[in-house]
């Protein structure tokens, strides 16, 4: 587990016994907080950030002080948590031209997907648009830089919505039609995945459809 300045934590969880849970990059599970008898107190869905063949499950979670996160935030190494799944059709099926749009902790499934793309040395074009409020709020920034070097077919576009810091070489402002067109040129060349707050999903989906992208090639997963 590691903390970022924005109270986003990265958790890695290993099975107590038996084999690892099998999942496809992009899927999610339910995390269960358990009482002393092993019964569920509260559960919430979280996307998996780790590679499908990793020996652990990784999650990128913002500590919002909710019913689950307030308990999770107090847990230390060795604590036991329940997991069930995987669930969801928001999975990557190795499409050769894929574009991903993430807001905040909606980055989690795309970490898993891009790790998979880099590990398999996949050919094609892989674009990630990732918006965060501030530079400090960007999760996995160093890893994205490494993944771009490992596989030159991967391009990560970072944008900040709440600040324009000196020396910043990325984009500023919300992800919009002009921004995606700047990097993707022909939007219809890609399959699209969008994960984040519902306003982001609604706006981007409308933009893509207006630009001629088949709705069947757009997958969404959001909250709020």
The domain ranges of the chain are 2-87, 97-223
pLDDT computed for residue 153 by the predictor: 95
Exposed/middle/buried for 169, CB within 10 Å: 0-12, 13-18, 19+?
exposed
**In the structure, what pLDDT confidence band is assigned to residue 1 with cuts at 50, 70 and 90?**
very low
DSSP helix/strand/coil, 99: strand
Query: To the nearest 5 percent, what fractions of the chain are helix, strand and coil?
Result: 25, 30, 40
Bridge partner list, 220: 194
> Top-level CATH class of 97-223?
alpha beta
> Top-level CATH class of 2-87?
mainly beta
pLDDT, tens digit, for every residue of 58-89? 999 999 888 999 999 999 888 999 999 999 99
pLDDT, tens digit, for every residue of 19-30? 788 999 999 999
Helix or strand (DSSP H, E) at 119: helix 108-119
Q: Are 112 and 49 in contact (CB under 8 A)?
A: yes
pLDDT computed for residue 17 by the predictor: 79
Whole-angstrom distance between the N-terminal and C-terminal Cα of the chain?
A: 26
Higher pLDDT, 190 or 20: 190
The token pair at 116 is 């998979």
pLDDT, tens digit, for every residue of 122-158? 999 999 999 999 999 999 999 999 999 989 999 999 9
Q: What is the mean pLDDT of residues 103-128?
A: 95
- Is the pLDDT score of 6 beyond 70? no
């Amino acid at each position: 587990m590691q903390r970022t300045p924005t109270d986003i934590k990265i958790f890695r969880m290993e099975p107590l016994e038996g084999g690892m849970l099998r999942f496809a990059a992009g899927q999610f599970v339910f995390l269960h907080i358990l009482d002393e008898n092993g019964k569920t107190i509260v559960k919430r869905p979280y996307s998996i950030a780790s590679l499908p063949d990793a020996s652990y499950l990784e999650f990128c979670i913002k500590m919002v002080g909710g019913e689950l996160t307030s308990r999770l935030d107090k847990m230390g190494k060795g604590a036991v948590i329940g997991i069930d799944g995987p669930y969801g059709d928001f999975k990557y099926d190795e499409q050769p031209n894929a574009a991903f749009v993430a807001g905040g902790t909606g980055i989690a499934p795309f970490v898993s997907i891009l790790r998979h793309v880099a590990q398999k040395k996949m050919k094609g074009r892989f674009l990630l648009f990732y918006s965060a409020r501030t530079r400090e709020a960007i999760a996995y920034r160093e890893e994205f830089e490494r993944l771009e070097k490992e596989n030159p077919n991967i391009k990560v576009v970072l944008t900040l919505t709440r600040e324009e810091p000196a020396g910043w070489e990325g984009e500023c402002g919300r992800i919009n039609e002009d921004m995606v067109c700047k990097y993707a040129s022909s939007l219809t060349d890609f399959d699209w995945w969008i994960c984040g707050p519902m306003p982001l999903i609604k706006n981007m989906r409308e933009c893509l459809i207006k630009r001629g992208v088949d709705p069947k090639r757009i997958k969404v997963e959001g909250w709020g």
